Structure 1
Amino acid sequence: DHRRHRVHGAEEHVPAVAGGGAGDTGEHELASRRERRGKGRKPAKSKKRRTGCACMVVVLVFGGGLGGVGYFGYQFYQNRFGTAPDYAGDGTGETVTVEIPKGAGGWEIGRRLKEAGVVKSAEAFVHAQTNTPGADGIQAGAYLLKKEMSAASAVRLMLDPRSQNNVIVTPGERNSGVYAAIDKKLELSSGTTEKVAEKQYKSFGLPAWAQNHADLKDPLEGFLFPGTYPAAKGMKPEAVLQQMIGQAKQKYAAYGLNEKAGEFGLDSAYQLVTVASLVQAEGKTHDDFRKMAEVVYNRLKPDNTETNRKLQFDSTYNYLLGKSNIHISEEEINSNPSPYNTYRHPGLPPGPIGNPGEDALKAMLNPTHDGWIYFVATDGMSNTEFAKTYAEFLELKDKFNANTGN
């Protein structure tokens, strides 16, 4: 094949220089060169160098898939074999879902499309991708495509958002919303993914520090990491969940949560994830998050006499009810005995109340140290203001009442 031909071709030039199999003429020339170099010096290893260069060319041609490497790989194919096999038109009526993993380049994408019957050859796809503006930005995910498409049509369709079958987990989103989105993308009846999560959560390989916690509303809460994940009809919900959980495990391990818990007076990484979910839920902007993290840590301190270790967060109560409501009466809150009711129970809720994103995680590990212990969304929506004393808090509360008409 052409791989052997290129490497072998490089080797064929070696004997004339190094003498290997060159006959009397080669041996005489080699002896003459040794004499000119000086007694005892080793002959130059030109054979090894030339073979190495040839191998490098082969690796570039066949290992390529991104940018110029993909382009030159296609040019090599075209020069060696001619025009790449390709279908004509926009494809048949039969559709197929193709999953593209992270980091896949043009050749890998083309190979997967060929295996699925979408394009006729990976080489044709690389050529079409190279000649389509913006096509080098094709993202990982699941794509709904047609069989027997021209490579150019396949590229255009992959750039169309309508072909992309993914579930997006947004920072702070609760698992209930993610489950519903997976059901919709996989065209499953409502509640299917939630039931799978409830029955199989022990099989998803959660870290030891995330297991066996009591009174949890959902043991997978906080482990469907924000991001974009392939999800299309024909896939199983557990496969989609596994991707999200795997990403969460990877991120939490990278942050070293289990080792850092003690630095913040907490027992485990699970409590740190819980703090990050509170920061994400209560903070409205990037600047809020570090202050919100300090509020949480200050309220958890044993010597906190301002709130007696009670967080008093509406977000934990709303999570319990599956709602988002900033107008909760004291009577309603005081009557609910749930451990997620942080107005009644001191300390953290049993577990995370959503899926924190990168900003919240970083803020949780790097809080401010300014003495913040109170906060109020004074406009009733997104403008969160912080206070250090109860008197300052009452001023913010008056401002909230004036702005919201309470």
Structure 2
Amino acid sequence: MGIALAVFAAALVAVIILVQNLVAGTEPADYAGPGGDATTFEVEQGWGAIQISRQLLADDIVASDTAFLEALESNTSGTSEIHPGSYELKKQMKASDVVSVLTAEGPAVSYIAISENSRKNEVYAKISEATGVAVKEISAFDTKGTQFGLPATVKSLEGYLHPGEYRFPLDTPIKDIIQEMVTKTLDELKRVGITDPAEQYRILKVASILQGEATAKDYPVVAGAIENRLDPNNTETNGLLQLDSTVTYGLGTRSLQFTEEQKQDASNQYNTYIHKGLPPTPIGSPGNSAIDAAADPEENDYYYWVTVNIETGETKFSKTYAEHQGYQQEFRDYCAANADKCK
């Protein structure tokens, strides 16, 4: 399938080039080279040949996107694959010279993109993909938080691996890569005024739950509801968070569905239907907006929330379980009509 897709992509590029040349009626514009001022060109994750060509043109690295696409199509190096990362180029280069740089062994840096709500195993896989270092070797750092300036009470790096785009020089030690992610998390916590290590860990737990339970616009409201559930005087849920996102984290899945037996399973330490209070660790890497909301939750009287439309993220809040049950039925009706969205 991969070969078929590559052939299809190459054919598509060729068709685009042919059409552009027929329309123009001339050979595509190209610089003579070797180029002028040095510049760093960034290839982002997910960019294809056409998007790369347009950005090269916008940055005045090539004279035309068509010249670049033609050079890429006729590349004699045996590959047309361009990896995400930073490349040292020059302004006004010959298109074939640009292709030679971009299709060489790889970029000048290791490029790592971490999405919000990524779990530690997903982050370690991304680091491995970018560096070529085995996941097992990377994950060995997971229980060594003190090496990264974290207290000994932190038994896992979950939650501290800040989401974002990272570019590291090739052969950067894994410890240094992880340290930058942890440092960014600690910097964000300090930015919102959270400096006590124990409170930092608590905020990361809440923020990671917000990432798994709500959309960004609802983070402050959900954060307030979580604090209501954690209140020692809470008689509505009696200290239980009752969160699907923590249960599925403990199960090692991301499915919206789990069985009643799994819901009652006390062996799952992340089962907040059984165990009171916050889970043992964060359940993913929270972004800045989730950290903001966790540090400054909205004051409200809500204890319950449910997203009734997964496509739009519409979430409804309630103060009583009876009201919440009505919204739960609304969600079940939605799932009945949109089974593919509620897997």
TM interval, short-chain normalised: 0.5 to 0.7
Q: Which residue of 2 aligns with 1:174?
A: 119
- After TM superposition, the structure 1 = structure 2 runs for residues 312-391 of structure 1, keeping only pairs within 5 Å, are 312-380=242-310, 382-391=313-322
- Who wins on radius of gyration, i.e. which is larger? 1
State how far apart, in whole Å, the 1-side matches of 2:225 and 2:304 are: 7
Note if contact 2:120-2:284 (Cα within 8 Å) is conserved in structure 1: yes
Q: Which residue of 1 aligns with 2:185?
A: 248
1:321 shift after superposition? 2.3
**Matched residue type, 1:174:** R
SS at match of 1:247: helix
Query: Match for residue 211 of structure 2?
Result: 280
How far, CA to CA, are the matches of 1:295 and 1:374 in structure 2? 7
Kept after mapping to 1: 8 A contact 2:38/2:90 = no
User: The residue matched to 1:375 in structure 2 has which SS?
Assistant: strand
* One-letter amino acid of the structure 1 residue matched with residue 223 of structure 2: A
> Where do 5+ consecutive residues of structure 1 fail to align?
1-87, 91-105, 110-131, 262-266
> If the length of structure 1 is used for normalisation, what is the TM-score?
0.57
The TM-score with structure 2 as length reference comes to 0.66
Residue by residue over 1:336-377, the C-alpha shift from the partner in whole angstroms, topping out at 9 and shown as x without a partner, is 323211110111111211111111111112322231110112
Give the letter for the 2:124 counterpart.
Y
SS at match of 2:309: coil
The offset of 1:234, in angstroms, is: 2.6
Q: Give 3-state SS (helix, strand or coil) of 1:221's partner.
A: coil
CA 184–133 in structure 1, closer or farther in 2 if over 3 Å, else same: same
- 1:185 and 2:115 equivalent? no
Structure 2 match to 1:290: 220
1:303 to 211, 233, 236: 233
Higher relative helix content: 1
Distance in 1 (alpha carbons) for counterparts of 2:102 and 2:294: 37
TM-superposed CA distance for 1:304, in Å, is 1.0
Gap change, CA 1:178 and 1:231, over 3 Å in 2:
farther
Contact 1:337 1:344 in 2 (8 A): no
CA drift at 1:294: 0.9
Residue 247 to residue 341, structure 1, CA distance change in 2 (3 Å): same
Shift >6 Å, 4+ stretches: 106-109, 154-157, 159-162
Amino acid at match of 1:378: V
The Cα offsets for residues 155-199 of structure 1, whole Å up to 9 and x where unpaired, read as 968x9798464111222211111100010011233433212434x
Residue type of the partner of 1:184? E
Which aligned pairs between 1:200-239 and structure 2 lie closer than 5 A? 200-206=144-150, 208=151, 211-213=152-154, 216=155, 219-231=156-168, 233-239=170-176
Secondary structure of 1:278's partner? helix
Structure 2 distance, partners of 1:160, 1:308, is: 59
Q: 1:204 to 1:142 in 2, by over 3 A?
A: farther
Report how many aligned residue pairs link the two structures: 263
Larger RCO, structure (CA 8 Å, separation 6 or more): 2
Q: What amino acid is the match of 2:267?
A: P
CA-based RMSD = 3.6
Instruction: Kindly state the Cα deviation for residue 331 of structure 1 after the two structures are TM-superposed.
Output: 1.6
Percentage of pairs with the same residue: 28
